[in-house]
Amino acid sequence: MFTDFFYYLRNFGVPVSMNEWQDLMEALDKGMAASSLTGFYYLCRALLVKTEAHYDRFDLAFASYLGDIQSPEGLPDKIWEWLNKELPSQEITEAMRLNHEQLDIEEMKRMLAERLAEQNEEHHGGNRWVGTGGTSPFGHSGYHPGGIRIGGNTRNLSAVKVAGMRRFQEFRTDETLGVRQFQLALRKLRQFTTRLEISKEELDLEGTVDKTCQNAGRLELVWARPRVNSMKVLLLMDAGGSMLPYSRLCNQLFTAVNKSNHFKDLKVFYFHNCIYDWLYHDSSCSLRDYTDTEHILRSCDSDYRVIIVGDGSMSPSELMRVGGIIDWDLHNAQPGIEWLQRIRRHFEYSVWLNPISANYWDWMDGSYTIKTIAQVFPMDELTVEGLERSINKLKSRSMVGKGNKVAKR
């Protein structure tokens, strides 16, 4: 029963296993779907989907599986097309969000329930329900099968409409995500050691056995220091004007890093487009409040993990020339690229995170400088996956060596 649906789900990227499928069959045997489509939807979702990140895929699979009974061909492709597109630009997402916040959710649910009841009695398997669904935005419960897709509008539009209704879309992990996800990724950045000066509070079993034996059997407990994270992190963030579109994303990363209290030390500095003689303490990048880059290089030992966040796109002179700094009242005696190389040479473990999607690096405005910087630092895009890859590089010496042409002195 419904075996196709199993494969639908897997094709849509919901990792369903046989165990869960058998649970579903058992539940259906017990009549837990309450003989209604809504019941079936909730039952399937509770049993088969194990993270809110997959709710959206589940909705899509459910829609296309049940929708296919009556719907015209080619629709799943449409959805796929939509899925395969680049991340939608910010404006569209905002608008969509606004759009579906205006819906009166409770009423929708009531209407949906009514319609379903009607369908079960009179139009079982008929077209009416699907047709009606077409014009009614029953997206709320993630329950937008068929209807919306074959509504009165052109098909292209309805595909977008489906998308707009997808309540759980924001949980998709392949999109750039919020603070928590960054935090999750950052947790992987750890290195345990017992060499730090903290109180001894773990029972040292071997030591205790040793001591007790030396005492001729009288118990003596020996305590040891627990292992703690010794990871030290230096976060350098571009606060230049071109970063404005990504400020929210960078903010999220910043919050996540700040919240991660498992680092032994965390230093955050800002720079304007490229790093020169000064690293600023706040995002206004004014010379009121700064530390010399030179000083950082001298005072931070090389086991600091350096994460640089910046779009890396600037005019080539800013990166390559003496005096190329963008602030008109400042002068740099060393070109930015030399500063970057010095940082790279000093900090063995360093990565560059770029909020611009990697697909654009080759042909957008700053492609020359992005390319140049990517030869110095291993560069990845600022997404959860990109951060995870970068963190792996920060953890192991062998990984970090790859793809950089700067010799270590």
Partner 1 sequence: MTLKMTQYQGSSNYIVSDELRNSVNIAIALGKPLLIKGEPGTGKTMLAQSIANALNKNLFIWNIKSTTKAQEGLYVYDTVQRLYDSQFKDHDVANIKQYIKAGKLGEAFLSSEQVILLIDEIDKADLEFPNDLLWELDQMSYYIPETRETIEAQTRPIVIITSNAEKELPDAFLRRCIFHYISFPGPEEMERIIKVHHPDLDKRLLEQAMETFYMLRNIPNIQKKPSTSELIDWLQALVVGGISPGKIKQDIPFLGVLLKKNEDLDSLLHGLETKTQNRATPRSNYWNR
Query: Is residue 17 near partner 1 by the rule CB under 8 A?
Result: yes
Secondary structure in 3-state letters for 195-206: CCCCCCCEECHH
Query: Is residue 15 near partner 1 by the rule CB under 8 A?
Result: yes
Cβ proximity to partner 1, 160 vs 184, nearer residue:
184
Stretch that binds partner 1, among 36-44, 227-235, 309-317, 382-390 (CB under 8 A): 36-44
3-class secondary structure, 326: coil
Query: Is residue 51 near partner 1 by the rule CB under 8 A?
Result: yes
Stretch that binds partner 1, among 23-31, 72-80, 272-280, 334-342 (CB under 8 A): 23-31
Q: Residue 185 and residue 335: Cα distance in Å, rounded?
A: 34
Q: At what angle are helices 37-48 and 105-122 packed, to 10 degrees?
A: 120
Residue 315: partners with Cβ closer than 8 Å, 6 or more residues away: 324, 369
What order do you get walking across the sheet with 379-381 strand by strand? 290-292, 278-280, 265-271, 232-238, 305-309, 350-354, 379-381
Q: Minimum CB separation from partner 1 for residue 35, in Å?
A: 8
Q: Residue 197 and residue 158: Cα distance in Å, rounded?
A: 62
**Residue 48 and residue 15 in contact, taking contact as beta carbons nearer than 8 Å:** no
User: Of the candidates 27, 83, 160, 268, which one interacts with partner 1 according to CB under 8 A?
Assistant: 27
- Convert residues 257-286 into a mask of x (bound to partner 1 by CB under 8 A) and - (unbound): ------------------------------
Query: Is residue 26 near partner 1 by the rule CB under 8 A?
Result: yes
Cβ proximity to partner 1, 51 vs 214, nearer residue:
51
Cβ proximity to partner 1, 191 vs 255, nearer residue:
255
User: Of the candidates 25, 209, 221, 322, which one interacts with partner 1 according to CB under 8 A?
Assistant: 221
User: Of the candidates 4, 10, 25, 52, which one interacts with partner 1 according to CB under 8 A?
Assistant: 52
Query: Is residue 49 near partner 1 by the rule CB under 8 A?
Result: yes
Query: Is residue 10 near partner 1 by the rule CB under 8 A?
Result: no
User: Of the candidates 11, 70, 141, 230, which one interacts with partner 1 according to CB under 8 A?
Assistant: 141
Query: Is residue 30 near partner 1 by the rule CB under 8 A?
Result: yes
Cβ proximity to partner 1, 29 vs 362, nearer residue:
29
Q: Which of residues 98-117 bind partner 1 (CB under 8 A)?
A: 104-106, 109
Query: Is residue 180 near partner 1 by the rule CB under 8 A?
Result: yes
Which 8-state DSSP code applies to residue 282?
S
Query: Is residue 167 near partner 1 by the rule CB under 8 A?
Result: yes
Q: Residue 384 and residue 253: Cα distance in Å, rounded?
A: 10
3-class secondary structure, 268: strand
Q: Residue 267 and residue 383: Cα distance in Å, rounded?
A: 21
User: Of the candidates 5, 8, 55, 377, which one interacts with partner 1 according to CB under 8 A?
Assistant: 55
Q: Minimum CB separation from partner 1 for residue 216, in Å?
A: 12
The tokens 């009614």 sit on which residue?
136
The tokens 């407990």 sit on which residue?
221
Which 8-state DSSP code applies to residue 213?
H
Q: Minimum CB separation from partner 1 for residue 108, in Å?
A: 11
Query: Is residue 251 near partner 1 by the rule CB under 8 A?
Result: yes
Query: Is residue 327 near partner 1 by the rule CB under 8 A?
Result: no
Going by their DSSP bridges, the two strands 379-381 and 350-354 should be labelled as: parallel
Tell me the two tokens of residue 178: 């919020």
Q: Minimum CB separation from partner 1 for residue 229, in Å?
A: 12
**Residue-wise DSSP of 6-75:** HHHHHHTT----HHHHHHHHHHHHTTTTTTSHHHHHHHHHHHH--SGGGHHHHHHHHHHHHHTTTSPTTH
Q: Minimum CB separation from partner 1 for residue 87, in Å?
A: 17
Tell me the two tokens of residue 31: 């009549």
User: Of the candidates 2, 42, 82, 368, which one interacts with partner 1 according to CB under 8 A?
Assistant: 42
Tell me the number of residues near partner 1 by CB under 8 A.
38
Cβ proximity to partner 1, 69 vs 95, nearer residue:
95
3-class secondary structure, 331: coil
Q: Residue 267 and residue 235: Cα distance in Å, rounded?
A: 6
Give the footprint of partner 1 on this chain (CB under 8 A).
15, 17, 19-20, 23, 26-27, 30-32, 39, 42-43, 46-47, 49-52, 55, 104-106, 109, 141, 167-168, 179-180, 183-184, 187, 218-219, 221, 248, 251, 255
